[in-house]
Structure 1
Amino acid sequence: MELKLGTGIGWRPEIADAVERLPGVDWVEVVAENLCPGRLPESLVRLRARGVTVVPHGVSLGLGGADRPDAGRLAELAARAEALSSPLVTEHIAFVRAGGALTASPRLEAGHLLPVPRTWDALEVLCENVRIAQDHLPVPLALENIAALVNWPDEDMTEGQFLAELVDRTGVRLLIDVANLHTNRVNRGEDPAKALAELPVEAIAYVHVAGGVEKDGVWHDTHAHPVGAEVLEVLAELVGRVSPPGVLLERDDAFPPEAELAGELSAIRAVVAGASPGPGAAPQDPASGLRPGRRGDLRAGGGWSRSSPRPSTSGLRPSNTAEAAPPRGAGNCATSHPRPADVAPAARPRDFGKGRGGEEEARRTRLAVAQTSLLSALVAGTPVPPGFDPARLRVQARALAAKRADVVAKVAPELPRILKDAYRPAYLAYAKARPLRDGYRRDALDFVAALIERGGLDDGVARQLGRWQKERSGPRRQGRAARVLRGLVRAA
């Protein structure tokens, strides 16, 4: 069965009621990490009862990182897909953390999606991580291209070539964000039309559209501004090449009135309807030329079918598994993706795809060192790695710190109320010396502890912060099940 999503919008709690009322919403996407599978929001329950498809969109796997995917995170994403009866799940081509065992250094969290170097080493690691994820997810996987402020030095491929190689070797689907293509045009000088010409557009599962703003020559992909003509032009370029199964409007902050959301959806529909695929465009059937999904159907294509050889799952399953891994290198898909005649594939090194074991670990270690050096410069103030633009890294570092301050303010809204105008400068000063390591709730507690330890606070503010800290760092009351179990143990 062909996957056909239609026009959708990102579901967020702040606009849940509006999303239910908006006309012509065929499907919604929800941030996977914000859901509890056993306790879905009532709004999503009502939407599903109406037949609206819900797709979980992950942000924390870090498949582009040097480490193998975390089994717990994969299990949580799988549980959300099952709870929502979703036809696919999506994630990003990005790394979100670095350090740890591969570099014998402290683990660092970015709190943001950071770009993967478009090198053969990084591609090998990404493909292996994608195979592990595919084998542990109950539905097909699609991966999103991200926006970036920085360029990695000495890259081997363009974005289009990198995505084409990824699809060719893993059969993964693509989630193409046209706003991110525009962001990379402004920030990195990359032509969206060239990227679209090089990637296998028939592998697209769906498309993201979002707004942003340009400041001082840098485009900020805010998801908090209206979708501009620049982004709609990239959408038209894409739709001129392929009819995507779905197009979705993303909005994450500064939510406008319902009528404005409806207007943006209408503008997106008009572009999709008005830009019919031209000569030589990819077939409209999104499953054409792609492997069946992991459940053996064609709902989303591009996964591992039950009858296909499965990828290696080293790191998550015993090494003596009887399932054979597919051949590495070119031709991993049952059907190769055609490229336009004037687009040459990236030239591969002679040993690309060879070796497992020691060589795979060597690739992971090289990537780990590079990513840790970059992330440490961004969040811990260490020297800028060779080849990077220091000015652009300063912009990215400020953006990461600002986003971190915003998230902590949402996780602990009492802190901006207590500190008022002093919250943001105090938090940014704290963040310079304290990289994010254990999540935002822990970060909020550490921030308050640092303020109290430093001293110099107004007495009333200090008392409020002390009460807040005590309430959130004290022992939690046990749940009913734990109390019953303790009683039974004592009675035995």
Structure 2
Amino acid sequence: MELGIGIGWRPEIADAVEALPGIDWVEAVAENLCDDHLPDSLVRLRERGVTVVPHGVSLGLGGADRPDPGRLAALAARATLLGTPLVTEHIAFVRAGGPRTASPALEAGHLLPVPRTWDALDVLCENVRIAQDALPVPLALENIAALIAWPGEELTEGQFLAELVARTGVRLLIDVANLHTNHVNRGEDPARALDELPVEAIAYVHVAGGVEKDGVWHDTHAHPVTRPVLDVLAELGSRVDPPGVLLERDDHFPPAEELAGELTAIRVTLAAAHKDGPARRGTGPLPAGPAPAGPGVHAGALRTTGAAATVTGSTVTETTAAGATAVVAPAVGAAAAARTLGVRADAVRDRAAVAQTALLSALVAGTPAPEGFDHRRLGVQSRALVAKRADVVAKVAPELPEILGDGYRGAFLAYARTRPMSAGYRRDALDFAEQLLIAGRPADSAARRRLTLWWQERAAARPPRRAARLARAVRSALVGR
């Protein structure tokens, strides 16, 4: 499947994207599209024969819980509406807590890394299988950028991706900017990752800009593409001719001619890489992922702590990474074997849930940092999450910075540092406004009236009173015990 050269479609640059020469395809954030109709700009692009690929950001396939059926159905509906050849998501977790840990649900509002361990791979592979079964087109998964590293990792990034592909048959969306980010932040060699991952599994490639601050690279998607990122693209291009390459830009959009210049730089980089060395093409079909070992058992759930488990007749056998085999448990038929494996898989998910909840709670709720993490990096990540919340809320509720003026950002940061997000950015905006009104803010009465009307129109018949808020806080505390 050849995609060619593309650009991320965003409403803010829709006109520019339509006018850019040489655009073969675009990618749109799936969660920003409706299930039953498309923006006029995307309709016009599709009428011109431009492929539109939906790019999901909220499934959290690396999370401890199985994928939410409603989110999967929504992504499937968008894929059908667009007539797309594939959909894409991320190797990340985006939420934690909830029933599995008997703790409040927490939303990161951001893509967070999963540990490169066998346990995490077990969970990810089963989640990918579930997603593949629910989607009408093939799925490709993106490597993410990370400010932090998990302690005790057992695999390199390339090994982790290669194992994921071997076990599920999923394709890869390789973000070369993220490889560069992980080089700066985690000391990982992009060339080694490219050597280890199956380049024939690449569906397409992302290229994006970022900025370095205090020795940390921030993958902002709001700055120009840098030479080091293009160098990683050249490394990839020397190994394989990617079916598609896409320029991402999510904020601080430059004039159309600057976007065109970055697309030209991508084309030049790929052409030079192909000229310098013969590329292996990555457009062939992938072998199918391993078949489930028993009724209702995903192959991704069969591996535990670095060992491959198989069902043979009435026996469950585990083969360790070193090649040793051992009978885990005799089973009475395939159904009992499936139950045995299911219990083990749930234990793996429970461990993942505890670890992810501890990390996310430290990042967004100020709880103690889990053992083994770099405290300074956790602080950087925590501040980045709060800043992103402020930026996104300002986008989804632009009336708030308009009403609050210069005081918006400081007020929101103060609110967010003590109140984790639990239900998405729009709910976050309402909760922020509610807190301000309860506190009698803003001080200017005219601004407070405007904020009250804004809140009333979106949340309830009248703004909450202090007593109601206190009662709600007491109930939440009792439930959380």
TM-score interval, normalised by the smaller of the two chains: 0.7 to 0.9
Q: Would you say 1:416 and 2:414 are equivalent positions?
A: no
Question: 106, 118, 122: which is aligned to 1:108?
Answer: 106
Q: What CA distance in whole angstroms lies between the structure 2 residues aligned with 1:132 and 1:419? A: 44
Corresponding residue for residue 477 of structure 2:
none
Alignment of 1:57-68 (within 5 A): 57-68=55-66
Q: What CA distance in whole angstroms lies between the structure 2 residues aligned with 1:397 and 1:9? A: 30
Evaluate the alpha carbon distance shift between residue 244 and residue 85 of structure 1 in structure 2; reply closer, same or farther with a 3 A threshold.
same
Q: Would you say 1:360 and 2:345 are equivalent positions?
A: yes
Q: Would you say 1:228 and 2:235 are equivalent positions?
A: no
Q: Provide the identity percentage.
A: 70
The structure whose RCO (Cα within 8 Å, separation 6+) is larger is: 1
Q: What CA distance in whole angstroms lies between the structure 2 residues aligned with 1:163 and 1:174? A: 8
Higher relative helix content: 2
Corresponding residue for residue 429 of structure 2:
444
Corresponding residue SS for 1:233: helix
Evaluate the alpha carbon distance shift between residue 385 and residue 309 of structure 1 in structure 2; reply closer, same or farther with a 3 A threshold.
closer
Instruction: Give the structure-2-normalised TM-score.
Output: 0.86
Contact 1:177 1:208 (C-alpha < 8 Å) held by counterparts = yes
CA RMSD in angstroms comes to 2.3
Corresponding residue for residue 335 of structure 1:
none
Corresponding residue SS for 2:366: coil
Contact 2:126 2:298 (C-alpha < 8 Å) held by counterparts = no
Q: Which amino acid aligns with 1:198?
A: E
Q: Would you say 1:461 and 2:447 are equivalent positions?
A: yes
Contact 2:171 2:202 (C-alpha < 8 Å) held by counterparts = yes
Corresponding residue for residue 194 of structure 1:
192
Q: Could you tell me which runs of 5 or more consecutive residues in structure 2 were left unpaired when the two chains were aligned.
A: 310-319, 329-339, 462-481
Q: What CA distance in whole angstroms lies between the structure 2 residues aligned with 1:277 and 1:241? A: 12
Q: What CA distance in whole angstroms lies between the structure 2 residues aligned with 1:172 and 1:352? A: 30
Higher relative strand content: 2
Contact 2:240 2:282 (C-alpha < 8 Å) held by counterparts = no
Contact 1:169 1:331 (C-alpha < 8 Å) held by counterparts = no
Corresponding residue SS for 2:100: coil
Corresponding residue for residue 473 of structure 1:
459
- Name the stretch that deviates more: 395-404 or 265-274: 265-274
Q: Which runs of 4+ in 1 moved over 3 A?
A: 277-281, 308-312, 322-332, 346-355
Alignment of 1:162-311 (within 5 A): 162-276=160-274, 283-288=280-285, 290-291=286-287, 309=291
Contact 2:97 2:106 (C-alpha < 8 Å) held by counterparts = yes
1:412-440 Cα distance to aligned partner (Å, 9 max, x none): 11111111111111111111111000111
Corresponding residue for residue 425 of structure 1:
410
Displacement of 1:441 in angstroms is 1.3
Q: Which amino acid aligns with 1:253?
A: D
Displacement of 1:458 in angstroms is 2.2
Corresponding residue SS for 1:69: coil
How many residue pairs get matched? 435
Q: Which amino acid aligns with 2:268?
A: A
Q: Would you say 1:117 and 2:102 are equivalent positions?
A: no
Displacement of 1:461 in angstroms is 2.0
Displacement of 1:464 in angstroms is 1.6
Contact 2:199 2:282 (C-alpha < 8 Å) held by counterparts = no
Q: Could you tell me which runs of 5 or more consecutive residues in structure 1 were left unpaired when the two chains were aligned.
A: 292-301, 313-321, 333-345, 476-492
Corresponding residue for residue 12 of structure 1:
10
Corresponding residue for residue 475 of structure 2:
none
Evaluate the alpha carbon distance shift between residue 351 and residue 60 of structure 1 in structure 2; reply closer, same or farther with a 3 A threshold.
farther
Contact 2:54 2:88 (C-alpha < 8 Å) held by counterparts = yes
Contact 1:225 1:254 (C-alpha < 8 Å) held by counterparts = yes
Evaluate the alpha carbon distance shift between residue 175 and residue 349 of structure 1 in structure 2; reply closer, same or farther with a 3 A threshold.
farther
1:82-108 Cα distance to aligned partner (Å, 9 max, x none): 100100000000000000111010100
Question: 142, 148, 151: which is aligned to 2:149?
Answer: 151
